[in-house]
Amino acid sequence: MDKSSPFDYIIIGAGAAGLMLADAMIKDDFFSGKSILLLDKDTKETNDRTWCFWEKGSGQFDTIVHKKWNHIYFGGKQFTKRYNINPYRYKMIRGIDFYQSILENIEASSRVIFKKAEVTAVEDNGRNVVVSTTDESFLAQRAFNSVFNYDMATQQQQYPVLQQHFVGWVVQTREPVFDVDQATYMDFSIKQKGNTRFMYVLPTSSTEALVEYTLFSENLLPREEYENAIKDYLHNGLNCSDYEILDNEMGSIPMTCYDFQEHHSANIRFIGTAGGWAKPSTGYTFASTARKIPLLIDYIKTEKPLHKLSFKNRFWFYDLLFLDVLYKDNANGHHVFETLFKNRSPKLIFKFLDEQTTFWEDVKYIWGCPKRPFIKALWRRMF
């Protein structure tokens, strides 16, 4: 490519954030006549992940939602309950369906070029952004980078960094095992072993489900430990010993209130997980990203320096206190969640986690949590 004719925008990474941003640019007339390059080292042709979120009524992704549930199950040590979450529904999107949907829009548009390439460096020289790959370099006026590594968050001491890490199996059972209209949101009945550990089950039929072993902790486990936990839960928790593994997934999502601001520049903006868009207290990223993309699009139109945009609000501080509690006493994380679900409805919990509550609803939510650890965390942050 002739470096004297740069792209207007380069998007690095074709995950949820990169593809949502590219799709939004395709659909907005402001970007008519703009040149947009989308880079990813993968062609996004495999089902490498699932995303879940809760939502009232229909939404922008309903055409590709793979399954919806009207009920969730919470299992604690002393308290368990099956909830009807109306007016919410818990929704699941398969990665492959999301990729195909957005990439079809990109292919039909002349505005975005999708190129398979591994990015090795991104530099803002003040005039342009230089994006280097293993084979060539590209210029852009502005770049949006969704490639994350944990060094971005762990090279600081002010904010704790936990990982939400997991391994999941899609299993097919011989006999009906699963409640097809119930997602197991958290089941803490398993051994905690000094961490916050729970099972997560998403049934797509009475004989098929994604069964996932999830931890909130600092460090990953050997792959075998996750898989042994899934086997044990299937056998002892669900009374199922006859099953076939159809697919599997694994991942790690950062849980931190570090805001990644120092990584941005006037012409480079980190987005998605790399921009701190994962909800710090839960790790949920898909819906959070979908809410931030329109705000980013509006900000791009102002042509102001990209590093000046901030998403920080009062919920950031709530998340910070929660992570302080979880980081200081990770073994008792199950108690925090159990107390909350015992004292408050999922409707208020979902509304709070969507950052849509009023201040008085915030107080009601917070007062449903264990008091002492949060008061201590607040005291430490203030003094």
First-to-last alpha carbon distance for the chain, in angstroms, is 55
Sign (positive or negative) of CA dihedral 124, 128, 129, 135: negative
DSSP for 198-247? EEEEEEEETTEEEEEEEEEESS---HHHHHHHHHHIIIIIS----EEEEE
Does residue 134 sit in the same domain as residue 178?
A: no
Same domain, 249 and 265: no
Torsion angles phi and psi, residue 208, rounded to 5: -145, 135
**Residues 146, 188: one domain?**
no
Helix (H, G, I), strand (E, B) or coil at 336: helix
Q: Are both 286 and 185 inside the same structural domain?
A: no
Name residue, tokens 């990953």.
220
Q: pLDDT of 154-181, one tens digit each?
A: 999 999 999 999 999 999 999 999 999 9
**In the structure, what pLDDT confidence band is assigned to residue 3 with cuts at 50, 70 and 90?**
very low
Q: Which amino acid is at 74?
A: F
Reading the block at residue 7, the tokens are: 């792209």
Q: Is 50 exceeded by the pLDDT of residue 65?
A: yes
Which band of pLDDT confidence, cut at 50, 70 and 90, is reported for residue 5?
Answer: low
Q: Which of 223, 239, 255 is the last residue of a domain?
A: 255
CA of 364: how far to CAs of 11, 81, 348, 367, in Å?
41, 20, 9, 5
Confirm whether 242 is domain-assigned.
yes
Q: Does the pLDDT at position 4 exceed 70?
A: no
Q: Same structural domain for residues 269 and 139?
A: yes
Long-range CB contact pairs, 358-366, < 8 A, 24+: 359/314, 362/314, 362/318, 365/340, 366/318
CA distance 28 to 297: 9
Q: Which range marks the domain in which residue 326 is found? A: 314-382
User: Structure tokens of 207?
Assistant: 């004989």
Residue 71 covered by a domain = no
Q: Residues 271, 335: one domain?
A: no
Nearest to 272 by CA among 248, 296, 303, 298: 296
Same domain, 12 and 145: yes
CATH number of the domain at 215, please: 3.30.70
pLDDT-derived band at 121, boundaries 50, 70, 90: very high
Residue by residue, DSSP assigns 165-194 as EEEEEEEEESS--S-TTEEEEEETTS--TT
* 283 lies in some domain: yes
- Average pLDDT of the chain is 96
The reply to whether 209 and 262 lie within a common domain is no
CA dist 322 and 164 (Å) reads: 14
- Helix, strand or coil, per DSSP, at residue 285: coil
**Whether the predicted pLDDT of 13 surpasses 60:** yes
Check whether residue 326 and residue 200 sit in a common domain.
no
My answer on whether 184 and 247 are in the same domain is: yes
Give the C-alpha distances (Å, rounded to integers) separating 261 from 183, 270, 301, 314.
36, 9, 20, 17
The tokens for 75 are 């299992």
In the chain, what percentage of residues exceed pLDDT 90?
Answer: 97
